Structure 1
Amino acid sequence: MKTQETIGANFKRAKILVIEDNEDHWILIENAMYHCLSEVTTVWAKTPDQAMDFLNDWSIQEWEMPKLILLDLYMPAREHGWFLLKQIKAMPAPCSQIPIVVLSASDHPADIADAYQRGGSSYMVKPTTIAEWLAYFQELRNYWWETVTLPPMRFSV
């Protein structure tokens, strides 16, 4: 059973990078995270280039590193999401070790299988209602912050 100390360590300087090109989806995500993960700082990257700029800047600032990345697969095409996932996984540690949850409106089995084969930590089919977004982010909180033990971010030397 996890202790409050272990759970608290997951929340310490907790940040999520949300890579989402659809502003309407970002607003839903931001709202749901505000209600379910108010202790966590969210950073929005609207484009793959912006996401890589954030990660490159943070790669030399351990205290800025996100504990989780939410990556929209179709940005606007699936190939953009796959390419970004590959770029992140090719970065030096600790960036390459950040868990990545792939988000998509697609429930196609090939997309789901590819996401895991390419290094995604989880795959989520995007909800369609506010209630579903809130339920998803409550589960995200329960799993990624209150159940698992996240490793401390350490730079390679």
Structure 2
Amino acid sequence: MHQSEKAGKGHRKGATILVIEDNKDQWAFIQRALEATFADFKPIWVPNVQQAIEYLTDCQKIGLRLPYLILLDLYLPEREVGWQLLEQIRSLDDPIGQLPIILLSSSDDKDDITHSYERGITSYIIKPTNYPAWVESFQTLKEYWLDTVSLPGSSSYF
């Protein structure tokens, strides 16, 4: 492992992943799977649009560390609410507006997927149906976001 890789991984310690999910049962699966795969990250749960926006704006106002990733449920409880929140986040000042947003949905409807990308999501994941599948999905997500891609300003924003 290169020295820069070690420094990058150490910098992730204490980082957060913001989970915007209105279903408490789904949150339980997500939380357990995140803890199993993103061990150095703290999952933060908010169940609605208002709390999501408050959390993100508080990060800037009071100097909280911005989330490394945002996991956003599309149906909050309707997809229009999820899309509106997505657009609100994207309209916030940078660096918040640049954060990676991974949309989670039970829907595999092509219109949901297409319209979500048109509104600015980074990735779309169809929600797994059981805990082992959640872990597998998040392991793949972790390998991609932590070991493969480079995020803009990752050392100063996240």
**TM-score in terms of structure 1 length:** 0.91
- Which residue matches 1:132? 133
- Which residue matches 1:143? 144
* Post-superposition offset of 1:19: 0.1
Q: What is the CA RMSD across the aligned residues, in angstroms? A: 1.9
Unpaired stretches in structure 2, ≥5 consecutive residues: none
- Number of residue-to-residue matches in the alignment: 155
* Post-superposition offset of 1:152: 2.5
Q: Contact 1:18/1:43 (CA < 8 Å) preserved in 2? A: yes
For residues 42 and 151 of structure 2, the distance between their equivalents in structure 1, rounded to whole angstroms, comes to 16
For residues 63 and 53 of structure 1, the distance between their equivalents in structure 2, rounded to whole angstroms, comes to 12
Bigger relative contact order (CA 8 A; separation at least 6):
1
- Report the identity percentage: 41
Which amino acid letter does the alignment assign opposite residue 148 of structure 1? V
Which amino acid letter does the alignment assign opposite residue 93 of structure 1? D
Q: Contact 1:102/1:124 (CA < 8 Å) preserved in 2? A: yes
Q: Higher helix proportion, which one?
A: 2
Which amino acid letter does the alignment assign opposite residue 43 of structure 1? I
Q: Contact 1:19/1:51 (CA < 8 Å) preserved in 2? A: yes
Unpaired stretches in structure 1, ≥5 consecutive residues: none
**TM-score in terms of structure 2 length:** 0.90
Q: In the alignment, is residue 95 of structure 1 matched against residue 82 of structure 2?
A: no
SS in 2 for 1:59: helix
* Post-superposition offset of 1:122: 0.1
Alignment deviations for residues 101-147 of structure 1 (CA, whole Å, 9 cap, x no partner):
01100000011011111000000000001111010110111011111
